Amino acid sequence: MPGLAAAVVNAGAVKTDIMRSAPWYMRAGAKALGPVIFDSVETSAHNAVESVRRDDWQGPTYWGKPGRFEQRTRIRLNAATSRRLVDISSTLTGA
């Protein structure tokens, strides 16, 4: 859609307190493996934040690696499906 930039961001596994209600053994595993498997909130949010700060990318785009704005893939969209999604979103939000 002209004038609309769309993107998909893989935020990865974000280091949060999401495991707080998990059984003890899952919390212990997350604590032990956390430094290896979890990204910081800053790294996970990097691509989304950069996409609104910069205008040197063309939507639709997919960022598959958290924190790596330059590693992006263009997405091919079906025009009819895109129009339907925008119409449904507009109806649902009143925008």
Give the Cα separation of 43 and 67 in Å (integer): 5
> Tens digit of pLDDT for each residue in 41-89?
999 999 889 988 887 777 788 988 899 998 989 888 888 998 998 899 9
Helix or strand run (H / E) with residue 33:
helix 24-37
> Tens digit of pLDDT for each residue in 3-27?
667 778 888 888 888 889 999 999 9
Residue 14 lies in a domain: yes
Residue 2 lies in a domain: no
Quote the domain boundaries for residue 31: 7-93
Residue 1 lies in a domain: no
Query: Across the strands, what pairs with 39?
Result: 14
Give the Cα separation of 9 and 20 in Å (integer): 25
**What's the pTM value of the predicted model, to 2 decimals?**
0.63
